[in-house]
Structure 1
Amino acid sequence: MDYYDWDLPPPVVPVHPTPVGGRLEIFWANWTFLEDPFVCKILRAGYKLPLARAPPLTTTPRSRVYSIDQQVLILENINILLTKHAIEIVSEPHHSPGFYSPIFLIPKKGSTKMRMIHNMASFNNLYLAEPPHFRMTSLDQIRAKLSPGAWMASLDLQDAYLHVPVFPRHRKFLRFIFNGGPSRSMAEDSRALSLPLTLREWQSLLGLLTSAQDLTLRGRLMLRPLQRFLLPFIRENDLQSSFLLPPHLHQYLRWWTVEWNVCAGVCLTSFNHNHELFVDASLLGWGAHLNGQTTSGLWSDAEREWHINNLEMQAVILAVRHWLPVLTNSRLLVASDNSTVVWVIHNQGTTRSKQLLDQMFLLADLVDSNGIVIAARHIPGCKNILADALSRPGKPSPTEWMLHPDAFRQICWQLGRPLVDLFATSFNHQLPTYVSPVPDPQAWAVDAMSLSWEGLDAYAFPPPILLSDCVENRKYGSSDNSDYRVSKCCDANVQKDDIG
């Protein structure tokens, strides 16, 4: 095997530690040995943006409104970039026009931490020339050129793109604004919100916003507190009555003045989930399962006083929070047997219950800050067996049907005693060997519908909703040598009153 070593010339500029921002500009002379004028020109003078048209500049940019938590995280990211000399503060922005693009936070890949994004998408699409087309060399192409015994290596340079300097006169196109507090536009909005409006004017305003709510991610949710506030006035139906909006509700109206909230857009394609979360709650506790894993918990004394709808909604929040590392940046479908919870998630809150609305805000903040797109569907209680059982530790579920023991003994006397009870739990099994719908250390197996019944000497008394599936399972899974014992009340002359 031949080995080759690339002898590099001694550096023209001695290499020494410097901040990473535009670092290669200091050492551009060391790259001249490549004899590539394009590379040397960029490193010496800075990268010039390929402008197709002149971007509009301003000295009065509008700042987005951020929550306190977001302000802290953004400021941390800005300080890191300042330390690296990757960005610089514009000393006199009111005398130096520039193009400003928005910033926002997204979760880091494989982490719950947040990182700041400088969103240049609009600038790139509107003002930059179309980049030249090129095709990346694939790993398969590289592998095809390797001879036996060759080695491959991967090099990952931290903050690689920050090393390249930007042409100084083009840096004004790469600005963003962050005030870390209320902006001038926020103060103006507050003065406007201090003026009383008539009921007719409030209804007209909310009607306008309602027409746009489905084109925003959380517009429908942001209108709920305002709708709840207006309900008593609407019942009185005095269109000329005027009143102020309470200060604590200003934030929900001001949300609509932030461009990113209104203009970011929503996905119009059909929802396709990659995770389905099954959740249930009882007055004792809650339970959930996701991708074959389960979690559960008990309510506190105070929580046991809540309405069952609030407990069911809280179960969703706790389950999402429990599996947050798995669900981050995913599309989640919540399956619940509580129709109110499904309605609240689908419609982003309710005007009937303040507690449910507050819980919806908690859930929305949880999923939005972790890149989770959420939807919900209703599942019949008799099919939500596992989550239902997890929410009732130590107690049988209302869905645990069973044949009266005397009727079961009569069937065994006429047809013989089977070996396996296919649909049972530790509370209602008729035979020592049984298959449970939930994880059970005493059960022979879990989930009878996932097993092959061929050749199995079994007894089945399934929930009514599964009867047709059981018939199909027997029809297509049987053979001439199989011995099935499916209980039929009419065959054993068992009366309806014998069903326990």
Structure 2
Amino acid sequence: MGKRKSKDANYLRKKIRKLEEKLRTLPQCSEDNTDSNEEKSPRRPPSQQYTPPPLATQTMVVEESPSVIIEAEANNNTENDQLPEEFLLALGKEGEEKEEFGDPIRPELALRWTKIMAEGLGKDARDKLIEKYPTPSNFPNAIAPLMNAELLATLSEPSVKRDKRIIYRQNLIGKLMTCLGRSLTNILKGDINSKRLIEEINDAAKIASEIHHQDSSSRKFFALSGANKTIQEAVKNTKIDTFLFGSDCADKIKAAQSIQRTSTQIAETRKTKPASSTTKRQLNWRGPLQNHQPQYQQARSGQFQQNSYKKQPRITNDPVVLGWLQGYDIPFRELPPSHDTEPQHWPKTEKEIISSEIKKLVALGAISECSYCADQFTSPIFLVPKPNGSFRFILNLKKLNQYIDTEHFKLEDIRTAYLTLSVPQQKQIAILDRIKFFKQISTCKIREFSQLLGTLNSICPAVPYGWLYTKVLERQKYLALLKSNDNYELTMSISQVIKSELKWWQYNIHKSNPIKQYNFLLEIHTDASTTGWGAVCSHRKASGSWSRSEQDHHINYLELKAALLGLQCFTKDIYNCEILIRIDNTTAVAYVNKMGGVQFPHLNNITREIWQWCENRNIWIFASYINTKDNFEADKESRKINIEWELSQKAYRQITERFGTPEVDLFASRTNKKCTKFVSWKCDPEAFTRIPSPAPPAYPGCRAAISQALIRRGTPHSALDVMLNSLSTNTFKQYDSPLKLWWLFCREHSLDTYQASIPYILNFLTKCYQNGASYGTINTTRSALSLLMGPKIGSDDRLKRFIKGIFRSRPPMPKYDRTWDPVIVLNHLAECYPNEEVTLEKLTRKLVTILALTTGHRVQTLSMIKISNMKFSDSGVEIYIPDIIKTSRRGSTQPMFHLKAFIQKKEICPVNTIKSYIDRTSSIRKSTDKLILTSKKPYKNASTQTISRWIKLTLKEAGIDVTIFTAHSTRHASTSAANRSGLSIDVIRKAAGWSQNSAIFARHYNRPINQDPTQFSSAICNTVIDT
């Protein structure tokens, strides 16, 4: 407030005199009023008696004079009659006595405690002090009582926070009582240790000072809640002394208000400043402001001129505030050289537009007029037309910017182009290490678990559906804190529930979260009532009633359940999109958008079901509130009269006991279904289909499917069996698996199994490829589909290109790149001699292995050898195979084995081994003509699998690595050994059953012997010895 002038003082002096005269003319006050006034007017101590100030003082001092005069006048009119003493005692003292200070305490104590009351204990000191005094075992009430869980769930979030603050204060008071209790206990015991007692009592005083400081902070908070922002900023950080906001509070408020007034005046000055013209206003002058000295190294913002700033009184020394008032400094790297732009000639219309735009900028304070200087720097201007027909004023500062240091921002990478967020690689590794650590332990401190949870929460924006998998962890932390009374230093258990959630993070932290476009594919309206639910999506509608268990839930739960059922009805076949859900319940909206909650597990569970349904389909949903009156369609669906009936459980049980359990329930709903798979007459979220039609036929098998395909292409039934004989049994087995997968694919996509288009076939083959199918498997699948849909499959250019692409991406590799030496196995077989003395099992294994090596044929061919087709001679034996084998083909003869007796070493002679085997098995043969029989009862023809197992066991005993080589490797080993011995390839082809021009042997069977890979290096080193 400003100083009063002398004429104001004279005016006030006269006014006081008039008031005094009026007071004298007033009637005397009554006795009661006098007594009342005496009690209301506190007596001042002699040191505080009022002394009339001089008339030149400020207004506040002058204005106190009338009240003093009134008080004195009233005292003079008081009657001398006194009330009886008992009445005076009943009335009490005349006024409240001034609080007197007591005896002083030690200055060391006063200084320390005063500092704590003003600034508070530090966190470390406070925690150390709390840990120092644990709660006595016989005084548990020193801990604040816990809030009942039933009432805690009903409290609002502000109430919970307020209760936590009170609990903390109560716990501090408990620690204070613990300190004093310990001291008193020691005194009563007679255990008086001065140093210890001083320390304990001093700690109690510290805790009391801390409580005093926290209460003062709370008073400051509530006192500032209604103040304006200027006062809040000015006094919020003041130190507490004898006054709550410090003794210098008034000065700080005045300074803040003065700054605000000055800033307001400056802003008003800028707004009202008239825009003056200049002859060269079309140029950006690098010159001084008018009436100023040149300043080349800095340029101020146009909103505040430098001379105005210098004329302002020094209201603060704060550099930030001064920077606001001074303006912005352009960071010139060096002084720009003088540069003048040639004057431009504008048409009259454009010149008017430019003048108008410059006036607007001057009025806004964005630019100011400059005077000419010798080394000025000017920049050109021009106009750019806008789409609406107006013009945009452009100031070209390109040349000036060459002399300015600009900030370099982070360079965007390719991930930004994809509009996705992802967790940095290093952070992923660090978080995964923490997750692995927590999965290996069983307990940890609540603080450590909270740190992990905070880290996971921080990366949720970059991990799709991440918020969903933090709610259970938040719930576990919440329960642990309830149990520990908010003590983060206590331990909590790492349950399987927590480890399951952490496992999800372990496998999904690497995923990127796309930035949402909120381009919704569907808009679904849902509603729930106590009788049922309803959902509407465009013209489609769905509804249903609640089950007996669902009817008992709260309406919030039912609203979320209705949202889930609506999603399941309308998004069953939808993937990779965004969907908007309209709900008329704010709790349901909040739970959906926040992906769950902590306080109510049943609501979190149903929300989890909603989002996991979306996660499996890569759907992102957003819930939006809609007024109930605008949600009338979904509301109508939710209130339909219950017309559903169901078969009683007793009757259903009797039916199943007599006729068996059915597979499909027709005309059912999710509430009255009797089977897991059911058909609904209307849209139902769990229905197998909503069309009451019989289920599609099951896969009939490979032979039946091919038969039906041939019939559809016009094959007569009489020729059907003959045509099917063109395919071997093994071919049917080979085609059975891919045709079964094709059958399921067609059922899933409602396709005709025998007349699908090429795009669907490509889609099916791609799915097989993505599931890991090799080139050979894809080729087999294509061949099987050709049998169903005709030769167009094999001749289509698109399919040919696709198969070629599979070949390049997953080229077929030979099973073996090397083979073993037959000599090793033959030497092992030679040990099983004489044949008459070895067991039948060993003799059988010896026979099949020698036949596999000496014939070079498959195990299938060996299993078809019959005694009746064998012709012995002095030189050997001829074996004829009349049955169809895998290598049989049109125009070729059936295999004929010519085995010569190997008299040089009878131990491995194939003829001698065959004769010995026939003699040994003659007693167990009945009507069986096959040569090879099983070696154990009941004796029967050996299958190809049994023969392969025998050969593999023999190879293992001989030292061959059977983890690499199978029984079929005998074909590789024998033919490769024959080639190495110099035998003609034509002879090898004929003996092994290959055609004369076949390249099978060269491509797949001719392999080198598995040799020592160190032979080359050893040979080089051996040259030293040789020389």
TM-score bucket (shorter structure): 0.3 to 0.5
Q: Which of 1 and 2 has greater Rg?
A: 2
- Per the normalisation by structure 2, the TM-score is 0.20
Higher normalized contact order (CA 8 Å, seq sep 6+, divided by chain length): 1
Structure richer in strand, relative to its length: 1
With the length of structure 1 as denominator, give the TM-score of the two structures. 0.40
